[in-house]
């Protein structure tokens, strides 16, 4: 697995509340998965300590993590 420059430079600065451990758990053990029209892959996992779903966006290669955020609007 790899991370885009955007993830490495922006996500930790913009969203310091998101722990890398949660991102990795979502990557390896997603509860929900959807492929976007542009080919990117959305993954969701419930994060108990914060009581929210984390959405992780991967590039089309299925290997590179691009973004992560708590998805307030996600309904399983």
Question: How sure is the predictor about 12, in pLDDT bands with cuts at 50, 70 and 90?
Answer: confident
pLDDT tens sequence across 52-76: 999 999 999 999 999 999 999 998 8
| Cα dihedral 1→53→55→6 (10° resolution) | -80
Element (H, E) at 29: none
pLDDT for the residue 48: 97
- Residue 75 within a domain: no
Domain that holds residue 52: 2-70
Task: Name the residue among 59, 7, 12 with its Cα closest to residue 38.
Answer: 59
- Residue 76 within a domain: no
Parallel, antiparallel or unpaired: strands 64-70 and 2-3: parallel
| Cα dihedral 2→30→61→15 (10° resolution) | -50
**Domains contained in the chain, number:** 1
pLDDT tens sequence across 22-61: 999 999 999 999 999 999 999 999 999 999 999 999 999 9
Is residue 8 scored above 90 in pLDDT? yes
- Residue 14 within a domain: yes
């Amino acid at each position: 697995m790899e991370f885009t420059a955007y993830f490495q430079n922006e996500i930790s600065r913009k969203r310091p509340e998101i722990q890398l451990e949660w991102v990795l758990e979502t990557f390896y053990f997603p509860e929900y998965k959807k492929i976007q029209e542009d080919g990117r892959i959305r993954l969701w996992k419930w994060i108990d300590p914060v009581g929210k779903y984390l959405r992780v966006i991967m590039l089309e290669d299925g290997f590179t993590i691009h973004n992560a955020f708590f998805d307030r609007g996600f309904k399983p």
